Structure 1
Amino acid sequence: MEHELKPFWNKIFKFDWKFGLFLILIICIPRFILVLHANETASYGYIGLIMVISTIAPFLFLSKFGRNKIGIKKPTNYRWLIIAFIIGIVCSILLYFLGETLYGNSYENWYYYIGKSYNIPTEIDQQSKLAMFGVMALTGMTFSPIGEELFFRGIVHSSFANSVGNKRASIIDSSAFAIVHISHFGLIFTNQQWQFLTVPTLIWVLSMFCVSILFYRCRKNSGSILGAILCHSAFNLGMIYCIFYPIIGS
């Protein structure tokens, strides 16, 4: 019988909801704290480290059989890779219009607040802005989509799915993803003090939950974790574009 976990870990854990909860606790709690610290200090080095750990987790814990089970394999439906990318772009733009309609250029607008962390100079020529956008877009389309999808829609989802099935597992991994993103927006640091924005946070968390469900659907329909990564990557591209151009101004 093949096991999802490598022989060493298989002696310690079972690939079930307890293992999934263990992963969420050891990754998401430190991540939440580190993102809050980064928002306060503008030092984001450790966030990259968390993404690297999230990326290598499946390769550290899982056997070849386990990695295949979580979707690290060739897609079975390549058409869904294109659909996944379109879904990601559309969702990010819709979320921009929602924030703009409700809150305009205020810290209650999730994209506006997140954009402040990019430290885009107020006086910047178009060529420099385009170059900065390119760097941020490339980073945003690779590091977090790969790390977060391998972690949330990959190893965490599949461990819970072994215990409660795919539908409930998707709700669990999407909830964890949404809650951890309160550290990116919701509990904000502005004017040298912390503030919790109740209603905007609820909207933001619900939005992150919904896009997470879509990320999972893209994984399922494409037959590969690549579907989720591409959808997430496109979402980040749309978000970064909206921050650099409609919000910051062209």
Structure 2
Amino acid sequence: MENQLKPFWNKYFKFDWKLGVFLLALICIPRFFLVLKANQTGSYGAIGAIMVVSALVPFLFLSRFGRNKIGIKKTNKIGALILALVAGVAFSLILYLIGTELYDTSYQNWYVYIAKSYNIPEVISADDKLILFISMAGTGMIFSPVGEEFFFRGIVHGSFARSIGEKRASFVDSSAFALTHIAHFGIVFIDGGWSFYLIPTFIWVLGMFLVSLLFFKTKQLTNSLWGAVLCHAGFNLGMIYCIFYLL
């Protein structure tokens, strides 16, 4: 059987849960603090950079055979890809409805807090708002879906699956994804100080865990990571639309 790791890494790792733990620590811990720092400073350039790094991790560690095994491959299941996109949008709208029902437009609403990072001017014409929306949506549908899915549902999931099976591995990568997103909402920087919203954070983390399982299901449905990427892109599109036009 071909080895999934590149020859260099075979000296240090096996493609198993230990590699998965190593990669989670390598990427998620710095990312967590970089996001917190970005929320404080309003400068998000480093976040884009870490998404690029996350996308590159499978290409740095895995052979061509290994990348194929984790799902970086073409799929001809067009209907399933469209369904994945729609499912992602639908989940984002559900989270919007829950947030507005419980917390209205306060900062305990996850979308309201995340909206701060988009720096939408209070006074803006409809045309300018549409241009800004298209720009933000385009970025949001590319960088984090590719970076996070290649990383979490790709190499991290694959490494754990070799040790504990597909189902349990999906719980591990979904948990890691959800906990990492506490930096995006949960530990919040408002009016020059830090706060922690216990119940809203629990709901947000649960939402991120469930949507991660959805990403995994769409990967299975399409037999490709591109299913998860499209579902994630749909989620981001829906979230950004809610932030721009529904809040």
Normalising by the smaller structure, the TM-score range is over 0.9
Does 2:16 match 1:2?
A: no
**Residue equivalent to 1:178:** 178
Does 2:102 match 1:102?
A: yes
**Residue equivalent to 2:134:** 134
**Residue equivalent to 2:165:** 165
**Residue equivalent to 2:232:** 232
Q: CA deviation at 1:144?
A: 0.2
Q: Which string of whole-angstrom CA distances, capped at 9 and with x for unpartnered residues, describes residues 126-147 of structure 1? A: 0100000000000000000000
Instruction: Give the unaligned 5+ runs of structure 1.
Output: none
Q: CA deviation at 1:78?
A: 2.6
**Residue equivalent to 1:124:** 124
Q: Which string of whole-angstrom CA distances, capped at 9 and with x for unpartnered residues, describes residues 37-80 of structure 1? A: 00000011111110010010000100011000110111253321
Structure 2 Cα separation of the partners of residues 90 and 147 of structure 1: 22
TM-score, with structure 2 as normaliser: 0.99
Structure 1 Cα separation of the partners of residues 221 and 162 of structure 2: 19
Amino acid of the structure 2 residue aligned with 1:53: V
**Residue equivalent to 1:42:** 42
Task: Number of aligned residue pairs: give it.
Answer: 247
Structure 2 Cα separation of the partners of residues 88 and 48 of structure 1: 21
Structure 2 Cα separation of the partners of residues 108 and 76 of structure 1: 42
Q: 1:180-195 maps to which residues of 2 (within 5 A)?
A: 180-195=180-195
Structure 2 Cα separation of the partners of residues 113 and 28 of structure 1: 21
TM-score, with structure 1 as normaliser: 0.98
**Residue equivalent to 1:154:** 154
Calculate percent identity across the aligned residue pairs.
62
Shift >3 Å, 4+ stretches: none
**Residue equivalent to 2:18:** 18
Contact (CA 8 Å) 1:89, 1:237: kept in 2 or not? yes
**Residue equivalent to 2:219:** 219
Amino acid of the structure 2 residue aligned with 1:107: Y
Q: Which string of whole-angstrom CA distances, capped at 9 and with x for unpartnered residues, describes residues 141-185 of structure 1? A: 000000000000000000000000000000000000000000000
Instruction: Give the unaligned 5+ runs of structure 2.
Output: none
Structure 2 Cα separation of the partners of residues 78 and 60 of structure 1: 29
Does 2:209 match 1:241?
A: no
| CA RMSD, Structure 1 to Structure 2 (Å) | 0.6
